[in-house]
Amino acid sequence: MTVTATVRSARPGWVTDAKLASWTRWVSAPATGGEPLTAVAPYDGRPTGPVPSCTSDDVAATVAVARRAQREWATLSFDARAQVVYRFHDLLVARQDEVLDLIQWEMGKGRFHAWQEILQVGNLARHYAKHGAAYLADHKVRAAIPVATSAREVRVPKGVVGIISPWNYPLYLGVGDTIPAMLAGNAVIGKADPQTPLTLLWTRALMAEAGLPEHVWQVVAGPGAAIGEAVVDNVDFVMFTGSTATGRIVAQRAAGRLIGASLELGGKNPLVVRADADLEAAARGTVMAAFANTGQMCIHIERVIVHADVYDDFRACLVAATSAQRLGAVYDYSVDIGSLASQAQLDKVAAHVADAVAKGATVLAGGRARPDLGPCFFEPTVLEGVTEDMELCLGETFGPVVALYRAADDEDALRIANQGTAGLSASVFSKDIAAADAIARRIRAGSVNINDGAALAAGSIEAGMGGMGSSGLGRRHGGEGMRKYTDSQTIVASKIGPLGPNARQTLDQFVKLGNGQLRLMRKLRVR
């Protein structure tokens, strides 16, 4: 691997104590307040900055304030709400270097992968500000009695939405879901992950500059489990992104309150290389999808399934592309891959690789921690010979590691791709788009990319994104990504008074008339 000199101190020079204070003031309602939390910067292992910690009582108080703010916010026209989001978009693009530094400082990813969060949030902001009114528009339907009555379905805000977002994409996942929820007329309670709270708080301050009323979007911070539970226990809808194990807990807790939940959970995502694939392109796509964000991405590729006829040639291409990756801890675009986010992530990745090697897997590239670069670096790694008795086979590694599998034919590739219970994302590389499409429809995954590793589906923001099986419930992006933050309400109206027998009809006469209507409608094939 090519390495680049690391930073001496991870803290960006422009981040002063005064700057930190200007962001941490946006932690809501630290009235009772727990002990401040301080994360560790993965580049150098030093503390970042203390962030006020909320208690469960603080969360409840924050939601109460949000309810009052939501009622006023919902009375604004959609265009008025959209103008706030447009201004936020422009500020984000203009001042992106600030938040790129914060994302790298808190999370350790390479700068290009941090910039992808800017791209995604900017696109989502513009899309929902422009098309959100259409997504929420009233829908006229045929009423019980045509002409004499009318019916329409309307969308009303849930009220207060709780968004529990993880550390791996603190801007995209923390803000990309907040924008459609707010535009739909809700107030939002965002839970900042303890590893990356400053990124979310910086963004909240920027939204204030864009003109968002203070209590429409509030951020709570503190210990993950306790504060997360308090959010679920007080809001009207939950958007959670994280592990499958925690997602089950969130779903059970939400179900106990009879509130909705949208869950994007873990994956063990496959990439299929057909015999006719462009192998150089497939290797390049695999590297981008497997090692982006240092592999800490729910949709990243962990399993590569290659047709036996091209397996050896593809393996050589992939090993070469992997070995060419540049690693380092720098605040510029001179490296491809940054650090893992924490010692816990490093330990998990190292344990998966060690377990696989101990049970007979072969390391083709990488396979080592790199403490010379920083405390949490691990080389991008390619393994072969992975078997089902290894934790890495179907357990989510969530790091820069892929396993190669040999498939006899397309049917065998499908069998391997559909192993396990996860079903988040997948990819198929083939020169025959029609054949790849036929395979894609048989892969159990919420999104399937053809001739791309993962970014194409994620970037197609007019289409829903989410999982099947143990990878979650619901979708973000597109119309469903906004409408899920609303309830459907049916409003009907009559020009002829109450439906039923009039004063001059007996019940027998009304029933006879109704039966005649049923027969006539069947004959005319109406409804």
Catalytic (active-site) positions? 264, 298
CA pair distance 466, 445, nearest whole angstrom: 8
> Helix, strand, coil: what percent of the chain each, to 5?
45, 20, 35
Tell which residue, 144, 141, 139, has the closest CA to residue 521.
144
Residue type, 229: E
Q: How far is CA 525 from the centre of its chain?
A: 45
Are the C-beta atoms of 224 and 46 separated by less than 8 Å? no
The CA–CA distances, whole Å, from 242 to 250, 262, 266, 297 equal 10, 11, 7, 10
The first and second tokens of residue 453, run together, are: 């590793």
Please, what is the Cα angle at 213 between 208 and 219, to 5 degrees? 65
Buried b (16+ CB within 10 A) or exposed e, 393-420: bebbbbbbbbbbbbbeebeebbeebbbb
Please, what is the Cα angle at 62 between 59 and 66, to 5 degrees? 135
Of all helices (H) and strands (E), which one includes residue 84? helix 78-94
Buried b (16+ CB within 10 A) or exposed e, 351-379: ebbebbbeeebebbbbbebbeebbbbbbb
* Neighbouring-strand partners of residue 155: 488
The first and second tokens of residue 77, run together, are: 């026209």
| Strand residue runs (E) in 309-465 | 326-327, 362-365, 381-384, 401-407, 422-423, 425-429, 447-450
Contacts of 20 (CB under 8 A, 6+ apart): 49, 198
3 state SS of 488: strand
CA pair distance 169, 175, nearest whole angstrom: 10
CA pair distance 272, 277, nearest whole angstrom: 10
Of all helices (H) and strands (E), which one includes residue 251? helix 244-257
